[in-house]
Structure 1
Amino acid sequence: MGYQYTAIGDSLTTGFGALPGNGFVPVYRRMAETSLGTTVSSTNLGVNGSTTAELGQRLRNNTLYRMALRQSDLITLSIGGNDLIRAAKSAAAQQGDSSRILSGALQECKRNFTGIMGTIAELKSGAREPYIIRIVGLYNPFPQFGEATEWVLHFNRYASQYTNGVCRFAAIYSHFAGNEKALLSLDHLHPNGRGYRVIAGQLNALGYGWLR
């Protein structure tokens, strides 16, 4: 029979920071094949540096993305980290204004995320076959920056509210907090192979819902 898996998102989806084949998408695909007992074909549509606004635009306007999602049985979404990184850099350049900048970026990120989830729901409306969506939560690449921690936690709470029979949220924050040296690559932003295995493991632990 077999299933079709489409991964959308940012550099976490592309597996940046790990050797080829060691990002969470290929690792999770292999885990899914084992759990489901059948072949799982994957399409990786991750784009390094992608923000929620940019991904939302692709989902609305890019035929490749829209067709891939319509045909998918399994969808993973990793997005939001670059919204934080850009806001943090902007805040650092404008000392004394960090709270306003980060708060504004968070509200925009949430609006864009709502749009992304709405577009996916629209594309999957009327789907004849069961499908599942898995959201990858954020970890904090700036643990020394207290406001960034609050930003990540707030976003994760918001994204986790989309949990339902089709969609589930993979919480990875607690696995990375305090373990950044072991789980992040040399750039201190992206996971290394071990970090990506943690993400894939959390996704796999959510089960496969109606696909089983």
Structure 2
Amino acid sequence: MKNFLRTFAGFLLAILLIFCVFWLVFPKAGNRFSGEKRTVITQKKIKYAALGDSLTEGVGDATTQGGFVPLFAKAIENGTGSSVTSQNFGKAGDTSTQIYNRMLKQKKITKGLKKADVITLTVGGNDLMKVLRDNVTKLSTMSEKDFVKPEAAYQKRVKKLLDTIRQDNPKAQIYVLGIYNPFYINFPEMTVMQNVVDSWNKSTESTVSKEKNTYFVPINDLLYKGTGTQAVESDSTSSESVANNLLYTGDHFHPNNTGYQIMADAVYASYKEVNR
């Protein structure tokens, strides 16, 4: 009997040890944003500052209300019952360097970012376009290698932007939106552009992941193919071409109202997961 009890006790001990190992190696599923880097917004009055380029300004928004910015603010209000006061510091055409310089020079931006509970940042599209403009004479022969050094330099500027924001505001939740490929529908054979956009987004996501309480929001897969193509009549000929129905028909580059709603939904989905 004693031998049996010893064997049984040993068996139970082994089971307990195995259970403890599994508990440590495979912790309970939970919020993927949980941990020391995460803070949750609980107040009923939220201050929101939007910083960035034309996507923040809202170019292509037929309502001229500011693109995804007011839509995201309204989603927070509808989803949480909190009131949101927003400030839009977007400026069309700005590269990461120009956004950074504006942030330093304009006191209203510095003040708005310092007091914000939530910050969104749209950046990168104009940096990528600058690479294309700087190499306009050899566009047809450019390869992905031509974007490697500009990408590395861009990531340093993104980190500098985020670090500067953090100097005055260590607690705000920052959501950095990725870039998208507006040329895919008309030029699907330009695989270099799609690969470059994917690469820049992956690098930005990696940069953002190293920052406290900062989150990357991918939008390329949501926008670059549209929700199905639509036929449009060309201005120069009577023939028809196709267009991305999530982009503004005035330039086929910036999102239209539906595109901005999709962006707002993506940012709010991330916000909701962080603050649940």
Give yes or no for TM over 0.5. Answer: yes
Q: In percent, how many aligned pairs have the same letter?
A: 27
Matched, 1:106 2:170: no
Measure, in 2, the Cα distance between the counterparts of 1:156 and 1:48: 20
Correspondence for 1:181 among 244, 253, 269: 244
The aligned residue for residue 93 of structure 1 is 137
Matched, 1:39 2:104: no
Q: Secondary structure at the match of 1:77?
A: strand
Change in 2 beyond 3 A, CA 1:120/1:178: same
Deviates more, 1:161-170 or 1:88-97: 88-97
Measure, in 1, the Cα distance between the counterparts of 2:72 and 2:260: 9
Contact 1:51 1:79 in 2 (8 A): yes
Deviates more, 1:99-108 or 1:153-162: 99-108
Change in 2 beyond 3 A, CA 1:72/1:105: same
Q: Could you list the per-position Cα deviations for residues 44-81 of structure 1 after superposition, in whole angstroms to 9, with x for gaps in the alignment? A: 00000000111122223332221111100110000000
Within-5 A mapping of 1:138-177: 138-143=179-184, 144=187, 145-161=190-206, 162-163=208-209, 166-177=213-224
Give 1 or 2 for the bigger CA radius of gyration.
2
C-alpha deviation, 1:122, in angstroms: 1.3
Correspondence for 2:95 among 33, 40, 51: 51
Matched, 1:204 2:268: yes
Q: Runs of 5+ in structure 2 lacking a partner? A: 1-43, 227-242
Measure, in 2, the Cα distance between the counterparts of 1:28 and 1:198: 10
Residue 113 of structure 2 aligns to which amino acid in structure 1?
A: L
Residue 244 of structure 2 aligns to which amino acid in structure 1?
A: K
Measure, in 2, the Cα distance between the counterparts of 1:151 and 1:57: 26
Q: Secondary structure at the match of 1:189?
A: coil
Matched, 1:134 2:183: no
Contact 2:175 2:216 in 1 (8 A): yes
Measure, in 2, the Cα distance between the counterparts of 1:78 and 1:22: 13
C-alpha deviation, 1:93, in angstroms: 2.5
Measure, in 2, the Cα distance between the counterparts of 1:113 and 1:69: 16
Q: Runs of 5+ in structure 1 lacking a partner? A: none
The total of aligned residue pairs comes to: 208
Highest relative contact order (Cα 8 Å, sep 6+), 1 or 2? 1
Q: Secondary structure at the match of 1:18?
A: coil
The aligned residue for residue 21 of structure 1 is 65
C-alpha deviation, 1:200, in angstroms: 0.2
Q: Secondary structure at the match of 1:185?
A: coil
Moved over 4 A (4+): 208-212
